[in-house]
Amino acid sequence: MKLNPLPFLTAALFLATLPCSAQAQYTNFHVSIDTSGLPTLPAGDSYNLDFELNGTNGSSDLLNTFNLGGGSVTGSPALTNAVRGSIGAGSISMGQTSSTNFINQYTDGFTPGGGPLSFNVSLSPVVGTTPDNFVFGLNDTNGAFISTGPAGYELATLDLSKNSFGAPDWNTYSYSGTNGTVTTMVTPFSPGISTPEAGSATGLGMMVMAGLMGSGIRRRKCTK
């Protein structure tokens, strides 16, 4: 049965225009990156996936439900400080952040498959004077950067400045090149509810909601 996406679009617009006090807050997010526009690399070069949890406040996170979009990880991952697990094993835990574990980083070689790269992240933030920070990025082994992020490799970042978040709290970045555009989408979800699949009406509604909340409306940030 073909579902009509209009109710989902209407609901997305309604939710995106609610005052801050009525917008839902989450600690679980689905992050999806369209890899079809990634540039073709020279022979012998490859991409690196980069996950970071940085700071001193004691925050932690769990990454899982990886979908490599037809691609694959290559070589052995590099784990720095309080990081356990791997993409191949199905989950990565990061933290707790501390003065001795300020930079917690997981990097892994990546061969894109042309489809959407996605994963789930569950956050356990600890609020401090200077927020801890979650980073997801992508670069290549020759140091070429492929995003509009502040350091040139970030695709999605979040300051852990409160106990829960909405989609507008995320910063997402893109890349445009000869093969097209690489875009990043962040969608909140509640545990026990399936994350949206691209192409479904429900997924379309949730993605439009995230897009609306990430456009001009996203400039109004909710605080706890």
DSSP structure string for 130-162: S-EEEEEEEEETT--B-SSSTTS-EEEEEEE-S
- The lowest-confidence range among 64-73, 116-125, 186-195 is 186-195
d(CA 137, CA 175): 12
What pLDDT was estimated at residue 152?
Answer: 82
Q: Where are the domains of the chain?
A: 27-213
Could you give phi then psi for residue 25, rounded to 5 degrees?
-115, 145
What pLDDT was estimated at residue 63?
Answer: 98
The pTM (predicted TM-score) of the whole model is 0.76
Could you give phi then psi for residue 29, rounded to 5 degrees?
-140, 145
Q: What is the pLDDT of residues 90-148, one digit of tens each?
A: 999 999 999 999 999 999 999 999 999 999 999 999 999 999 999 999 988 776 667 77
Q: What is the pLDDT of residues 4-24, one digit of tens each?
A: 545 444 444 444 444 443 446
Q: At what angle do helices 201-213 and 6-16 cross, to 10 degrees?
A: 20
Q: What percent of the chain has pLDDT over 70?
A: 73
Q: 116-124 and 28-34 as β-strands: parallel, antiparallel, unpaired?
A: antiparallel
The pLDDT mean for the chain works out to 80
Grade residue 179 by pLDDT with cuts at 50, 70 and 90.
Answer: confident
Alpha-carbon torsion angle 20, 211, 196, 29, nearest 10 = -60
Grade residue 195 by pLDDT with cuts at 50, 70 and 90.
Answer: low
Closest CA to 116 of 65, 75, 78, 158: 65
Per DSSP, the three-state class of 166 is coil
Beta-carbon contacts of residue 33 (< 8 Å; ≥ 6 apart): 116, 117, 118, 138, 155, 182, 183, 184, 185
Once rounded to an integer, what is the mean pLDDT over residues 199-211? 42
Check residue 74 and report its DSSP letter: E
